Structure 1
Amino acid sequence: MSTPHSDPADDAATPRLLDHLIELRSRLLRGVAGLIAVLLVILPFGNKLYAALAAPLLAKLPPGGQLIAVEVASPFFAPVKLAFFAALMISMPWLLYQAWAFVAPGLYQREKRLAMPLLVSAVTLFYAGCAFAFFLVLPAVFGFLTKIAPEGVAMMTDITAYLDFVLVIFFAFGASFELPVALVIAALLGWVTPDQLKESRGYAVVGIFIVAAVITPPDVVSQLMLAIPMCALYEVGILAARWLVPQTADESSTKPRA
């Protein structure tokens, strides 16, 4: 029952807010439960995962070269850390689905039609960036680094330092491959137009090379192997924005029922 001085709108908004908070908690619990389930499945294979992750470096080391563990607990914590990040990547579609299920009821019908393809494209491009880094970039970078090592210097990398290095590379390439999705979203929001993106191509290329120099290791191989695909993805983003924006500019949308 509302008090004589209470606002009916506030009284009606309070249950809706509680419903949203309960729904948010439910989605968070489901997402965390899925992540933990995947982690429990992967955890026994942590050492094998690390062996597979270390293969690009070990293949480039001289005969007898190996990774080392500087800290006492590194042989335990490094595979566990890798298993967690692997579980996070595997369960990413499930986590994003929970986020989508929470926000979808408040979206317009047009926004729903666009959000799902963009979400799928973002996940796919992130995985593609990680795969590109593992199968092409890491072997090229390690081959370059082992060849320029000074004479008499043996590369004996700590397993934790190697894991951190590879995870940074994965994140850098995975996030950079999201460029087309970012351009499409910017165009849909009206921040830029496809023509403006085309006209700014020269500035974009310079910016891409600067970003590649900042987020990659200090070697020209990894910088070029990130900058060149990003330039190609920029062109893909322009084409996707040009294809989507005209189709959505004149569409009318209706707000879903509360």
Structure 2
Amino acid sequence: MANILGNLNRSLLLGGVLLALAIVILNGNALDLNWVNAFLRFLHALVGVVWIGLLYYFNFVQIPTMPKVPAELKPGITRYIAPEALFWFRWSALATMVIGLAIAGAPQQQYLVEALTFQEGYRNIGLGMWLGIIMAANVWMFIWPNQKIALGLVDADADAKAKAGKTAMLFSRTNFVLSFPMLYCMVTRGVLG
């Protein structure tokens, strides 16, 4: 078992096989539009967990801990850990938003316009969608461009790196704050409308 679980790719493959088995066992031959909708909801939740999990990692762990890390150890984080985490962070943000919009616009759902315009019965999901869109935009328009500078992935002087790091942190913290009402709206969508 250590041979499988000790390797990320093998673990992902095992998780995918178990997912396929669960789908077949639970849905049998009824792989229709309802199944597609359920699968999209699963993917939306999965990539959303990755996105918000990394947002919380940055805000609860990395940002508060970096000032305590000895200078000689910081390159390990800024050259290896942060760029990898930011890769998954930005792509999971985009995937969460795209899949969520696809669910809302799917033929059997079609509540995209109603939600985005806060019509009766769609206010919770609409507010959650708008907050998610704003948060995804922050990732791609402010956090990632500034992190590239702060981490030295783009040439810049020390002052520009410090300014970019602060800007990235402030937009990350903005997303952190917005994540609470966004998650509430998404989770209560079916309960409160």
Q: Same fold (TM over 0.5)?
A: no
- Structure with higher Rg: it is 1
Q: Which has the higher contact order (CA 8 A, sep 6+)?
A: 1
Normalising to structure 2: TM-score of the pair?
0.35
Higher relative helix content: 2
